[in-house]
Amino acid sequence: MPLMYNQDDKHKPPAIQLNNIRFQRGSHTVLKQLSISIPAGQWVAIAGCNGSGKSTLVRLINGLLQASSGEIIIHGQPLQQEHIYDVRSQIGYIFASPDDQFIGLTVRDDIAFGLENLCLPREQIEQRIQTYAEQLHLTELLDRHPATLSGGQKQRAALAAVLAMQPSVLILDEATSMLDSHFRDQLLQGLQALHVEQQLTLITISHDIKELSAAERLIMLHDGVILADGKPEDLLIQQQLLKACRLKAPYVLELCQELRLQGIDIGESINEQEVLNKLWALLSSRSPIAIKSAR
Amino acid sequence: MGITFEQVSYRYKERALKQHLALDHIDLSLKTNQFITIVGAPGSGKSTLLQHLNGLLRADHGTIHLLDMIISPSPAKLPKGLNQRVGLVFQYPEQQLFKETIWEDLLYGPLNFNMSKAEAELAAKKAAEFMGLDDLILAKSPYQLSSGQIRKAAIAAVLAAGPEIIVLDEPTASLDASSRLELMTLLHRQCQEQGRTVIVVTHALEEVAPFTDQIIVMDEGTIAFVGKPHELVNRTDLIDKAGLQIPAAYELYAALQKPLRLSKLDHYPSAAELAAAIKAAIS
């Protein structure tokens, strides 16, 4: 029985509702009777090893794939062929490999493409290009061909093009994998701001503990089923879950566990400052209670 | 034998929009049989430098001494055997798999480098085993694999050709965290057990720090730093500019060093080592 998310937000209408979703590829069942409800404005992270069904799940949500059975409801509207375009226009999707989504000959054209399809006035298109180029530090790169950009620059360009569409749901499928830590941190802060200010519903797939920790809720997938669904800080300290999802325990958690083996039990945490604070407290008190007998 | 760049410069010409000097009179001397990491901000020249190592890009000026080979600017011919001796794994590995099945892709390099069919099959099998690719995956088309599996297949295809130097551009992107650690451990073993040189471009210092012998920081087409990873920790100017995050091991060690009177850091401290040092200090 998976750990289930305590839905504090259950009074909010779900932005995304998946009921008994199954997805079959050939003889392989990629997703097995999955049911998930994501309230509007929630930030959900999805973790799991390669091939666990993460990308399949989010591709079902924006209609890139069609479920073998089950029902998907987006903002109260069943995801069916006749209004797939309406649904897609509300969902921004950033692929793991940004090359998969470039269309324009320059970064500027690429950001403009989606906006032109929304038939926005030229002035508004220009304004959005400037806003999102600035936000993602792309102003200097607007006239560059996407193919001439580095991996990190490409991912920021792809992100700008999607954010400019101002979707109500944003899906990032390992979209920060090519970003350096500064841009990733900036992006996470930017997403946090968007999430809070605009009530953006966020779904992020990642293998990065820091990125998974930034979300409000973490769903851990394993072999097409939900292994755990809860708060990241509660799930990411559980070795069994980390192992099943092939996540690497953060160094600070490893340190807590090694300290316990050395007879020093300060609990378990993925927060460096918290661990340091506990060690300070221990050092200043030299508390005999906190230091257990060595193995 | 080592790897030496002497005043190497390169400017992108064919791409009208990328005309800055991508490599700016680079002087660099590296030992072989090491795990070498290259970091730097986007556009600092990391990938450009890598592509000079197997002749994919040719310097406008300067000379590269690679093992016992010399790579001179065009129109001089590339040294014989360069492509076999230096294997390159691209940032997007799907770009380098082109056969109908992964197994055929793994055979392509060895056969192309004149191995017999039996030798090629043995090399491909060893590389597949090393990267954890089973028969089921080997029989598939690259289009049927997940991004992580494609990356492993691309690396196996390069290993099968038996290069002395393996060059990888962001090898862990799109791999799950355990696969990242596995890959780095496997690559490190290639250095230690097979005597190969591994050169990795990355921005994830945390992943490579435990394995790295030498780290190079690039900045606007120049070499800003060469040294051991722990020597880089105090260079906050470079760390900030390169967009790096100091690994938690170094951060925690630095925070605990003074109060616990820990010895000066001279290597990457494992969690077990740091825990033992904390235990010793507070006992």
Q: Model confidence over A146-174: pLDDT tens digits? A: 888 877 788 888 889 999 999 999 999 88
Q: Are residues A68 and A124 in the same domain?
A: yes
Query: Is residue A50 situated within a structural domain?
Result: yes
How do residues B40-74 score in pLDDT, each as one tens digit?
A: 987 899 989 999 998 999 999 999 999 999 999 98
| Chain A neighbors of B180, CB-CB under 8 A | 207, 248
Please, where are the H alpha helices in chain B? 46-53, 82-85, 102-112, 117-130, 135-138, 147-160, 177-194, 205-208, 229-232, 236-241, 248-260, 271-282
User: Alpha-carbon distance B99 to B119, whole Å?
Assistant: 19
pLDDT 10s per residue in chain A (295 long)?
444 444 555 556 789 999 999 999 888 899 999 999 999 999 999 999 878 899 899 999 988 899 999 999 998 888 887 778 888 888 998 877 777 778 888 999 999 998 998 889 999 999 999 999 998 889 999 999 888 887 778 888 888 999 999 999 999 988 777 677 777 787 787 788 778 887 889 999 988 888 899 899 999 999 999 999 999 989 999 989 998 998 888 899 999 999 999 999 999 888 889 999 998 888 777 543 333 333 3
Q: Are residues A194 and A262 in the same domain?
A: no
| Chain B neighbors of A108, CB-CB under 8 A | none
Q: Residue B203 and residue A264: Cβ atoms within 8 Å?
A: no
Q: Is the ipTM of this complex over 0.85?
A: no
| Chain B neighbors of A109, CB-CB under 8 A | none
Question: Containing domain of residue A141, as a range?
Answer: 14-248
Average pLDDT over residues B133-151: 88
B269 CA to chain A: closest CA distance, Å?
10
Cα-to-chain-centroid distance, residue A286: 41
How do residues B175-219 score in pLDDT, each as one tens digit?
A: 777 788 888 998 998 899 889 999 999 988 889 999 999 999 999
> Contact at 8 Å (CB) between B4 and B12?
no
Q: Residue B173 and residue A283: Cβ atoms within 8 Å?
A: no
Give the DSSP H or E segment for A213: helix A209-214
Q: Are residues A269 and A168 in the same domain?
A: no
pTM: 0.78
Q: Are residues A114 and A186 in the same domain?
A: yes
Nearest residue on chain A to B19, judged by CA atoms? A148
Query: Is residue A33 situated within a structural domain?
Result: yes
Mutate to test the interface with B, among A95, A150, A210, A268 (most CBs of B within 10 A): A150
Q: Are residues A87 and A208 in the same domain?
A: yes
Q: Are residues A197 and A279 in the same domain?
A: no
Q: Residue A50 and residue B18: Cβ atoms within 8 Å?
A: no
Name which of A240, A227, A228 is nearest A268 in CA terms: A240
Give the DSSP H or E segment for A202: strand A201-205
Query: With an 8 Å Cβ cutoff, is A272 touching chain B?
Result: yes
> Contact at 8 Å (CB) between B78 and B55?
yes
Nearest residue on chain A to B40, judged by CA atoms? A180
Query: Is residue A4 situated within a structural domain?
Result: no
Q: Are residues A136 and A213 in the same domain?
A: yes
| Chain A neighbors of B242, CB-CB under 8 A | 180
CATH, residue A134: 3.40.50.300
Q: Are residues A187 and A224 in the same domain?
A: yes
Q: Residue A144 and residue B17: Cβ atoms within 8 Å?
A: yes
Structural domain count, chain A: 2
DSSP string, B72-129: -STTSPPPTTHHHHEEEE-SSGGGG--SSSHHHHHHHHHHHTT--HHHHHHHHHHHHH
Q: Residue A259 and residue B278: Cβ atoms within 8 Å?
A: yes
Instruction: Delineate the domains of chain B, giving CATH numbers in brackets.
Output: 2-246 (3.40.50.300)
Stretch 103-142 of chain A: residues touching chain B, C-beta under 8 Å = none
> Contact at 8 Å (CB) between B246 and B39?
no
* Beta carbons within 10 angstroms of residue A147's beta carbon: 12
